[in-house]
Amino acid sequence: MAFDGSFGKARHELIGCLGAGIFAHTLPSGDMLMDLPDFIKTFPALDVPFPDDVVKSYAIQSDKGLVVFFDFVKDMVLPPHSHLAQWGTVLDGEIEFTIAGETRVFGPGAIYDIPSGAEHGAIIKAGTKVIDVFEEPYRYALRT
């Protein structure tokens, strides 16, 4: 159901090797902060039930599915809910997901797979960035 792989250290080393100054910043703690590229930030936002000062969204939509880059600006609690299948990966930050009654913490590099109809909710820390792919192409409307 869900994979709790944390590849943060390897990701940081890889980013460092690739010259990450463009998209990542090193914090005084030595941790790296991932930033989304500007071209992704030009993708349309979604009409999600959360304010822009809490979460920003950048989406690509087709008849087959919905791909969303979420950037959580503030801590957020995502109430339990269910829908068609969802797959995602954490780019930066941390999410405590409860999926079908099982709670796990996901950090950078972790992948989660939420089966269709599985109830899930989350506690998401500010600074978290994820890519979510929804089976349901029109789960959220694009903002116009």
Identify the three-state secondary structure at position 78. Answer: strand
Token pair, residue 96, equals: 């405590």
CATH for the stretch 2-134: 2.60.120.10
Distance, in Å, from the CA atom of 124 to the CA atom of 72, rounded to the nearest integer, reads 8
pTM of the model: 0.79
Q: What is the pLDDT of residues 56-99, one digit of tens each?
A: 999 999 999 999 999 999 999 999 999 999 999 999 999 999 99
